[in-house]
């Protein structure tokens, strides 16, 4: 985590040796806690899928027999994956509510943690352009 810019702890210490008075949420414990919460949400999603396996989308409306409405299932999961991906980009990567990302030079040697403004045009597909 230190390589990604996390350098402080809720215990009041810093990796550089100084003391910290207000580390905020993005400390070692905060990052670990948010990832644990995200894992818990994924686990709850898995439980939901296990419990509600017999929803209407899993049966044919005409015959009542078990079947899979794959376009509907795919659409729901594609939408949720899109929301998760947009949330990661909009909040985690841009620094709006998150630690930003590690951006390195063209050869991968120098680098730093910085917020990235998304490039919405064709230049956004260039891996060497972190943003505008």
How many domains does one find in the chain? 1
Q: How far apart are CA 104 and CA 118, in angstroms?
A: 16
Inside any domain, residue 30: no
Inside any domain, residue 89: no
Q: What is the mean pLDDT of residues 62-83?
A: 85
Inside any domain, residue 130: yes
Is 76 a residue whose pLDDT tops 80? Answer: yes
Give, rounded to a whole angstrom, the gap between the first and last alpha carbons of the chain. 26
- Identify the residue with better confidence: 7 or 111: 7
Do 39 and 49 touch, CB atoms closer than 8 A?
A: no
Inside any domain, residue 92: no
Residue ranges making up the domain that contains 115? 101-132
Read off the pLDDT of residues 93-119 as tens digits, 9 standing for 90 and up. 777 777 777 777 666 677 777 777 777
Read off the pLDDT of residues 30-48 as tens digits, 9 standing for 90 and up. 989 988 998 999 899 889 8
Q: What is the pLDDT of residue 91?
A: 81
Inside any domain, residue 82: no
């Amino acid at each position: 985590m230190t390589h990604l810019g996390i350098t402080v702890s809720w215990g009041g210490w810093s990796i550089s040796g100084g003391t910290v008075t207000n580390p905020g949420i993005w400390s070692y414990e905060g990052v670990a806690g948010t990832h644990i919460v995200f894992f818990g949400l994924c686990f709850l999603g898995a439980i939901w899928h296990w419990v509600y396996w017999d929803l209407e989308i899993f049966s044919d409306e005409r015959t009542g027999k078990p079947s899979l409405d794959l376009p509907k299932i795919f659409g729901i999961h594609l939408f949720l994956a899109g929301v998760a991906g947009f949330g990661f980009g909009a909040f985690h990567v841009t620094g709006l509510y998150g630690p930003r990302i590690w951006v390195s030079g063209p050869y991968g040697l120098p680098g730093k943690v910085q917020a990235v403004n998304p490039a919405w045009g064709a230049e956004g597909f260039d891996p060497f352009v972190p943003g505008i």
